Structure 1
């Protein structure tokens, strides 16, 4: 399957040169920024986005907080599982990195000696983005946007073909989306048990949120009792 990266004119290689050519024309400082963003920054940003969504869910104290948190827990688990699935895929396809078969590329990250198809970075990013989208649409759209940017950066850096990135997107989406129902079905009871525990309940719901709701529910009754007591006092005074 190494012939997948065979040299010669094809849309995949042409798009590789077009996108990577932007790195040649860009100033050195911009390439350094893209190198960091594409290698580490966007993945860190996606993880922080998941944490932000978790914080938002637990602060709201919704009735289905356990199932929402279960969906968020699935996002990083899906990314890890997708990377494991990619291990045999890479070994079967055995596609060399583009800079090994094509001259004149601006390679921003040196030392990449493993196979190219499919991109681990694109797989992880899209699995996180799609997993987050299943749990929360608003945060998920942002996550998918960051994943798309991650794929662009991998080609820009000269370490992946566009089809490596597309393959990673497909793999990450398939794992996160198709396995989401059974995964959340298994994780939700676990999150519910944690919510009921005295030590881990804060991981699912912020302390005081349910208590505040109960107090709000009791306020009308308290007002009614106060009004009745005031009426009785007026009757006695009369």
Structure 2
């Protein structure tokens, strides 16, 4: 199964050379930036998106919105971890070498990659997190998905993955995060709801200002308005 891409006539290999060729033409400082971004920067960016999404869902909508949004947000990193576990037997079955081992002339920005290439762990993890965030909050989710796509591009640019490696990673992360979301949320939502009712954990689910606003609304019998699909409701 290692011969998924074997020569330059293969579109996968041709696209690899085209994208990695941008690294050859770029100044050294830009390649160093891309190396950091592709290895760590985008993942750090996704962490910041998750934190921003958490800050948003605990401040807006009804209490039920906050509980369901936070449950979906917790599922995002769990989905990423599960997707990486699913990828272990896939890599072992396909046994595809890194592209620089079979193809000459690539500008490899990161050394020391000795494991198999298909599918990309970085692309898998990034997209699983992004889809989980999208389930929690569409606007933040779109930002996260854009970051995941940028991660996929960076891995090919860096010369450590074929294009089909990252496409497979994006597909795997999406599949795990979406297909397993219903049972995961069914388990996580009651846990988050219990945390919301506790004295110590309530602030993790609901901001003080939002809780006070809800208390005032309940006192005067005014239902708190739910947010539209562009904000913090669960993506359908």
TM-score if structure 1 supplies the norm length? 0.89
SS in 2 for 1:60: coil
Give the CA deviation at 1:207.
Answer: 2.2
- Structure 1: any 5+ residue segments left out of the alignment? 222-238
Matching residue of 2:226: none
Matching residue of 1:57: 57
Spell out the pairing of 1:4-83 with structure 2 (5 A cutoff). Answer: 4-60=4-60, 62-64=62-64, 65-83=66-84
The runs of at least 4 aligned residues of structure 1 exceeding 6 Å deviation read none
Matching residue of 2:135: 134
Residue 92 (str. 1) matches residue 93 (str. 2): yes
Matching residue of 1:105: 106
Q: Structure 1 residues 14, 189: CA separation in 2 closer, same or farther (over 3 Å shift)?
A: same
Matching residue of 1:170: 171
More helix by share: 1
Matching residue of 2:201: 200
Distance in 2 (CA, whole Å) between partners of 1:220 and 1:82 is 45
Show CA shifts across 1:162-216 (max 9, x none): 0000000110000001111111111000000000011111110112422333235
Distance in 2 (CA, whole Å) between partners of 1:74 and 1:156 is 30
Matching residue of 2:210: 209
TM-score if structure 2 supplies the norm length? 0.90
Distance in 2 (CA, whole Å) between partners of 1:85 and 1:59 is 35
- Structure 2: any 5+ residue segments left out of the alignment? 223-236
User: Which protein shows a greater Rg?
Assistant: 1
Show CA shifts across 1:81-101 (max 9, x none): 000000000001000000000
Q: Structure 1 residues 203, 12: CA separation in 2 closer, same or farther (over 3 Å shift)?
A: same
SS in 1 for 2:9: coil
Distance in 2 (CA, whole Å) between partners of 1:218 and 1:190 is 27
